């Protein structure tokens, strides 16, 4: 069934998929078409079950099809799928988010993390009157034109479009720095005095594989942005409400000017949000002149799912200790494999097939991607579903069992023999 579905899909979907990494191009083989999910497991169209470490790219902290979330969605569905009008659940979710995240005073709901990032950048450009944005090489912030940019020949060069269809004029407004290199950031600010509206960062990089911020790096970004009159934006689409109830900002004790959220706040439904202090968010229409709109923003079903998950997590903080401990167990044993580097932050983990310490994108790129592809196929054959890319995070959740962790480790260590 997987192969026949893929052949059908390739006739009507670009590459047979609706998001590029799903095509398995970097690991080889046929994508698995998922028919069912429950707890820590997914089942493909051929009826084969896998221990899942993709977790819909992060939001399934409690596992797939969790009864608390499922029941909340079922109740919401009975009242209607979409209103295109305000509903109580969006108010409740915004109240819960602002209660959990110190410094987050107001939010605007969106339908995706990409939309949240695009809107936050628009706010930053409006309030500063500047056009340029600084991002980090290897950090992903959705597929908005301004963010599909990589570094040029040097740290101070303008960006080069990473995608067809991105005008060079747009790409030239995005400057790319090296993650964990504050001197590179300061050099960019010095070379573009008074021109940078915002610096956006994944506080824990998770789209070049998991890379933690060096001690003091986030604090230095905060200081540099303040000194240069630029806004600091934390993209917490992955880390928000996963690393801690207050996200990475709370975990590292650094307050950005704006946050971007997604995934987790929808409990598996399509959702995103951006927010910050009242003085910034009051620039959003209808209060101000920065336009953002969306028929499905604050969708009642998505809000119900997100509320159910965040309320559950807030009432059971021990979940965070549990998933962190699970991930630490995996990390400890996976480190015994030869010629790998294992990075972990909380319940996020990546096995890099390199001997080099991975502190940034250049380090990550030394990974042996062919060996990772063989590892991925080996794990898939062993019933373990990993992200189909060397440069992604594994997501550990509360539904994983000790036996499943042991099975995962047994399979991984057998590859190394």
Quick one: 203 and 311 in the same domain? yes
CA distance linking residue 80 with residue 87, whole number of Å? 11
58 pLDDT exceeds 80? yes
**Which residue among 184, 235, 257, 363 is the active-site one?**
235
**Which residue among 263, 312, 326, 385 is the active-site one?**
263
321 pLDDT exceeds 60? yes
**Which residue among 6, 53, 140, 385 is the active-site one?**
140
Tens digit of each residue's pLDDT (9 = 90 or more) over 231-243: 999 999 999 999 9
Which CATH number fits the domain that encloses residue 165?
3.40.640.10
| Burial of residue 14 (number of CB atoms within 10 Å: 0-12, 13-18, 19+) | exposed
Give mean pLDDT, residues 40-53: 98
Contacts of 57 (CB under 8 A, 6+ apart): 238, 263, 387, 395
Quick one: 249 and 229 in the same domain? yes
Compute how many other C-beta atoms are within 10 angstroms of the C-beta atom of residue 102: 13
> Could you tell me the residue range of the domain that residue 150 belongs to?
67-315
Tens digit of each residue's pLDDT (9 = 90 or more) over 285-310: 999 999 999 999 999 999 999 999 99
Quick one: 283 and 375 in the same domain? no
Return the pLDDT at 161. 56
CA distance linking residue 415 with residue 53, whole number of Å? 18
Give mean pLDDT, residues 175-192: 97
Quick one: 77 and 104 in the same domain? yes
Which CATH number fits the domain that encloses residue 411?
3.90.1150.10
Quick one: 148 and 273 in the same domain? yes
397 pLDDT exceeds 60? yes
Residue found by looking up tokens 């192969």 in the block: 3
394 pLDDT exceeds 60? yes
Full-model pTM:
0.95
156 pLDDT exceeds 90? no
Quick one: 187 and 225 in the same domain? yes
CA distance linking residue 136 with residue 178, whole number of Å? 6
Overall residue count recorded for the chain in this entry: 417
Task: Identify the domain boundary among 315, 336, 363.
Answer: 315
Quick one: 36 and 154 in the same domain? no
State the SS3 of 149-192: EECCCCCCCECEECCCCCCHHHHCCEEEECCCCHHHHHHHHHHC
Return the pLDDT at 151. 34
Helix-helix angle 67-78:300-315, to 10 degrees: 150
Strand order in the sheet with 41-44: 34-38, 41-44, 49-52, 384-385
Query: Does the annotation mark 140 as catalytic?
Result: yes
Give mean pLDDT, residues 136-150: 86
Quick one: 218 and 114 in the same domain? yes
Task: Identify the domain boundary among 315, 343, 360.
Answer: 315
Give mean pLDDT, residues 316-325: 97
Give mean pLDDT, residues 307-314: 97
Residue 282's pLDDT band, with cuts at 50, 70 and 90, is very high
Return the pLDDT at 150. 59
Residue 312's pLDDT band, with cuts at 50, 70 and 90, is very high
170 pLDDT exceeds 90? no
Give mean pLDDT, residues 315-339: 97
CA distance linking residue 196 with residue 190, whole number of Å? 10
Query: Does the annotation mark 235 as catalytic?
Result: yes
158 pLDDT exceeds 50? no
Cβ proximity of 379 and 412 under 8 Å: yes
How far, in whole angstroms, is CA 397 from its chain's centroid? Answer: 15
Task: Identify the domain boundary among 284, 315, 346.
Answer: 315
Q: Nearest CA to 211 among 53, 366, 359? A: 359
Task: State the average pLDDT for the chain.
Answer: 94
Cβ proximity of 224 and 185 under 8 Å: yes
Return the pLDDT at 59. 96
Quick one: 146 and 104 in the same domain? yes
Quick one: 388 and 355 in the same domain? yes
% pLDDT > 70, the chain = 97
Compute how many other C-beta atoms are within 10 angstroms of the C-beta atom of residue 91: 12
Residue 162's pLDDT band, with cuts at 50, 70 and 90, is low
Quick one: 9 and 112 in the same domain? no
Tens digit of each residue's pLDDT (9 = 90 or more) over 262-278: 999 999 999 999 999 99
Question: How many structural domains compose the chain?
Answer: 2
Give one DSSP letter per residue of 290-323, joined into a string.
Answer: B----TTTT-HHHHHHHHHHHHHHHH-THHHHHH
Quick one: 298 and 398 in the same domain? no
């Amino acid at each position: 069934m997987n192969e026949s579905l893929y052949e059908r899909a390739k006739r009507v979907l670009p590459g047979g998929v609706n998001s590029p990494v799903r095509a398995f191009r970097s690991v080889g083989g046929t994508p698995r078409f998922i028919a069912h999910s429950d707890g820590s497991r997914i089942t493909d169209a051929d009826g084969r079950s896998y221990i899942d470490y993709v977790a819909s790219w992060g939001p399934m902290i409690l596992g797939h099809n969790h009864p608390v979330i499922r029941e909340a969605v079922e109740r919401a569905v009975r009242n209607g799928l979409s209103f295109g009008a305000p509903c109580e659940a969006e108010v409740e979710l915004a109240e819960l988010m602002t209660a959990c995240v110190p410094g987050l005073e107001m939010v605007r709901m969106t339908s995706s993390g990409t939309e949240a990032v695009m809107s936050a950048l628009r706010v930053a450009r409006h309030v500063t009157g500047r056009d340029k944005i600084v991002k980090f090489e290897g950090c992903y912030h959705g597929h908005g034109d301004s963010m599909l940019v990589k570094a040029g020949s040097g740290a101070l060069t303008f960006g080069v479009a990473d995608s067809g269809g991105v005008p060079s004029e747009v790409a030239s407004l995005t400057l790319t720095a090296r993650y964990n290199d504050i001197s590179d950031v300061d050099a960019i600010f010095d070379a573009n005095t008074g021109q940078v509206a915002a610096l956006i960062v994944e506080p824990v990089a998770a789209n070049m594989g998991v890379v933690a911020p060096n001690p003091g790096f986030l604090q230095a970004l905060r200081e540099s942005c303040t000194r240069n009159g630029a806004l600091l934006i934390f993209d917490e689409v992955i880390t928000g409400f996963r690393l801690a109830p207050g996200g990475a900002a709370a975990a590292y004790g650094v307050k950005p000017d704006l946050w971007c959220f997604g995934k987790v706040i929808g409990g598996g439904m399509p959702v995103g949000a951006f927010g910050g202090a009242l003085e910034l968010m009051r620039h959003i229409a209808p209060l101000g002149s920065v336009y953002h709109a969306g028929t499905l923003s604050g969708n009642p079903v998505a809000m119900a799912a997100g509320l159910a998950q965040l309320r559950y997590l807030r009432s059971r903080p021990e979940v965070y200790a549990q998933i962190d401990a699970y991930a630490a167990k995996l990390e400890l044993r996976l480190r015994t494999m030869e010629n790998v580097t294992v990075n972990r932050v909380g319940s996020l983990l990546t096995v890099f097939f390199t001997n080099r310490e991975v502190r940034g994108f250049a380090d990550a790129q030394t990974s042996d991607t062919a060996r990772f592809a063989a590892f991925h196929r080996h794990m898939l054959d062993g019933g373990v579903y990993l992200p189909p890319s060397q440069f992604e995070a594994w997501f550990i959740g509360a539904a994983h069992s000790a036996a499943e962790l042991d099975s995962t480790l047994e399979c991984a260590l057998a590859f190394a023999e």
